[in-house]
């Protein structure tokens, strides 16, 4: 066996019905295109979403909301995750490099520290943003924050 004699499995490939090959073929005459109109012409294609003149779905459905093009999306890291990281690796400072190294965020993420859980360790935390509860909890534990 080699590449020159490979064949698909028997019955898996079916030849398509040839159209426009005379009246005896069952698909002659207009060749399944109907009579006249744009659809019978060669090169015709309908626009995506076109519904035959009916108001298309993307125009029927009501629009609402607002997407701010200048929004900044943060990847949240909670205090309980920080506490676990500090205990596991015996850290005194938690910065972006530590978070990336231990898989909590990816390299290009902007990081926001969130207030779920509690922090018992005294650590210096470096991130792009902090929630008010997270900031209070870190400072209550004797730590400090550094905003990037």
On whether the CB atoms of residues 109 and 76 are closer than 8 A, the answer is no
Distance CA 112, CA 104 (A): 12
Strands 110-114 and 129-130: parallel
State the chain's mean pLDDT as an integer.
92
Confidence (pLDDT) at 1: 80
User: Within 1-148, where are the H helices?
Assistant: 57-60, 79-89, 96-101, 132-140
The pLDDT tens digits for 80-133 are 999 999 999 988 899 999 999 999 999 999 999 999 999 888 999 999 999 999
* Edge-to-edge strand list for the sheet holding 129-130: 74-78, 110-114, 129-130
């Amino acid at each position: 066996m080699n590449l020159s004699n490979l064949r698909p499995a028997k019955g898996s490939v079916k030849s398509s019905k040839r159209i426009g090959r005379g009246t005896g073929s069952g698909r002659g005459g207009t060749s399944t295109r109907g009579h006249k109109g744009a659809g019978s012409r060669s090169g015709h294609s309908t626009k995506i979403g076109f519904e035959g003149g009916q108001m298309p779905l993307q125009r029927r459905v009501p629009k609402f909301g607002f997407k701010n093009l200048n929004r900044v999306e943060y990847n949240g890291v909670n205090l309980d995750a920080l506490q676990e990281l500090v205990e596991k690796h015996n850290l005194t400072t938690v910065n972006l490099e530590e978070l990336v190294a231990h898989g909590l965020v990816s390299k290009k993420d902007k990081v926001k520290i969130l207030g779920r859980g509690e922090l018992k360790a005294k650590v210096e935390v470096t991130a792009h943003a902090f929630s008010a509860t997270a900031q209070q909890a870190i400072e209550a534990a004797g730590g400090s924050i550094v905003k990037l």
